[in-house]
Chains A and B, each alone.
Chain A
């Protein structure tokens, strides 16, 4: 039970606390350039998810065999191998969608988030924990991509996953790649705002509770403290 909970925490950590897109702000290139539709977001998200999990596991298994001084080139080659695998799979099974995101699938090899997770986590932990960490990080990325993709597709084309669900004239602006910058920036700001409000609320309740319960205690401790100063 205890290990299961930590695994769950690892996954949630990747999705919420250290979301690669909104919190760590790593791997921004596809989040900005390739999220014009949900489908693109899902495709790239799945590719990153797969590469993250596979290379986390590979490094976790082989960590004892790698000399620390050549660890970064090793990570790069491991990631490169898995990227080649997913690249060929997507090209074979989803040729239409792949023609749009093709370059970015190859570019996963240079994504900071994957290298960072290998360096920070997989090379120090066991296979299972590394798997769940990679799972959470990949999931966080996938969810982030889908959310941005949904917003841009809805506002820019009035559709979701290709189905027309909005009756209004769409804003072409959101389909332009430049809009990716604005959407990501505004969403980051929004999440920061929510977090700030939440934090302040919690602080206030803690403060109130402590204030209420400690009211007499405070008064009582205040008077002795004043006492010595006064005398």
Chain B
């Protein structure tokens, strides 16, 4: 909750200047500056006068190649050689310009809430784990024969996913990184996954026997689902924070649920269709999955800002 409040408060406030009204990231390698008044200053138009770096890496300077000013001279678009890592705050300093005593300097960053939403939508649609990353296919093919099974599997999977990711993140950040044990990540993460599956199994059995009777069989299958181990590995590689990890887990789980449900709807219809003898069952299911994959390609390159 605290994180959310602070995220809302920190939406693109530009401190220390009355010249720049707003800053934002544009496309992959762009930063858009909005000025408070139409600018006539020469320095702001020269690529050489900008010094840009990521807040965490002050040594690596990012070079501005081009500056494009809008006709009314209130916005300027800075273009960089390489795409920017937009999840990191960037600090921009302009040589020759001052605001008060110190040189003109300001920070460009994304709002945290929007960033979390981006991670969620990316994992759910743009990089759907089943249709664009091709993970979890064994379980996907095995449990997408009926809508009921698909729903059950998807919901149980999402719950286990979120739980095991939370544990993995805590364990990774506070135990494995400080003690330099990151080479053990495969063993530790799969251990935590089977632990949370076992915990889910026990809790569900006691708390809601009816739900257990309908969902219990899927629990065993979860340990053999690549997605459940891919998510902790990815967040370890990307160095995500806790809420980012949670959003990734939630997106991955609900993306899997979405994929299962879509596939189950098609396969229920396929049962009634006339499929060539040799293609009955799995082969035709793979062809359908391929078509879904093509459809999901349409989301690629989409960004949310």
A115 within 8 Å of B (CB atoms):
yes
A109 interface contact, C-beta 8 A: yes
A184 to B177 Cα, complex, angstroms: 40
Instruction: Say if the beta carbon of B224 comes within 8 Å of chain A.
Output: yes
Q: A178: which B residues are within 8 A, CB to CB?
A: 290, 293-294, 297
Please report which residues of chain A, range 84-113, place their CB below 8 angstroms from some CB of chain B when the two chains form the complex: 84, 87-88, 103, 106-107, 109-112
Q: Could you tell me the distance in whole angstroms from the C-beta of A189 to the nearest C-beta in chain B? A: 4
Which one of B5-13, B75-83, B133-141 contacts A? B133-141
Closest B-chain residue to A114, C-beta based? B224
The residues of A with any CB-CB pair to B shorter than 8 Å are 25-29, 32-33, 72-73, 76-77, 79-81, 83-84, 87-88, 103, 106-107, 109-112, 115, 176-182, 184-186, 188-190, 192-193, 196
A49–chain B nearest beta-carbon distance, Å: 18
A28 CA to B137 CA, complexed, in Å: 6
| A-B CB contact pairs (8 Å), 28 listed | A25-B141, A28-B138, A29-B135, A32-B134, A73-B194, A76-B190, A76-B194, A77-B190, A79-B190, A80-B186, A80-B187, A80-B191, A84-B183, A84-B187, A88-B183, A106-B233, A107-B135, A112-B139, A177-B132, A178-B294, A178-B297, A180-B134, A181-B290, A185-B279, A185-B284, A188-B286, A189-B276, A192-B283
**Size bin of chain B's contact surface:** 35 or more
Partner of B226 from the list A73, A107, A184, A188 (CB cut-off 8 Å) is A107
Complex Cα spacing A185 to B132, Å: 17
Secondary structure at the A interface, as helix, strand, loop or mixed, is helix
Which residues of B35-85 are within 8 A (CB) of A?
none
Q: Which of B133, B185, B229, B290 has a CB less than 8 Å from the CB of A185?
A: B290
Contact A185 B194 (CB under 8 A): no
What chain B residues lie within 8 Å of A106 (beta carbons)? 185-186, 229, 233
Interface residues in chain B, defined as those with a beta carbon under 8 Å from any beta carbon in chain A: 132-139, 141, 183-187, 190-191, 194, 198, 220, 223-226, 228-230, 233-234, 276-279, 282-287, 289-290, 293-294, 297
Contact (Cβ within 8 A) A111 B135 = no
| Residues in chain A near residue B229, CB distance under 8 A | 106-107, 109-110
- Tell me whether A103 and B223 are in contact (CB under 8 A): no
Q: Is the beta-carbon distance between A190 and B278 smaller than 8 angstroms?
A: yes
Could you say which residues of chain A place their CB within 8 Å of the CB of B286? Answer: 181-182, 184-185, 188
- Shortest CB–CB separation between residue B68 and chain A, in angstroms? 33
Query: Please, which residue of chain B has its CB at the minimum distance from the CB of A23?
Result: B282
Residue on A nearest B224 in the bound complex, by CB:
A112
- The answer, among B138, B186, B283, for a CB contact under 8 Å with A84, is B186
Q: Give chain A residues whose Cβ lies under 8 Å from the Cβ of B294.
A: 178
- A83 CA to B226 CA, complexed, in Å: 14
Chain A residues with Cβ below 8 Å from B233 are: 103, 106-107
B80 to chain A, nearest CB (A): 25
Closest to B198 in A: A73
Contacts of B297 in A (CB 8 A): 176, 178
Cα distance, A109 to B293, chains bound together (Å):
25
Contact (Cβ within 8 A) A110 B225: yes
B138 touches A26 (CB 8 A): yes
Considering the chains assembled together, what is the distance between the CA atoms of A180 and B251 in angstroms?
Answer: 24
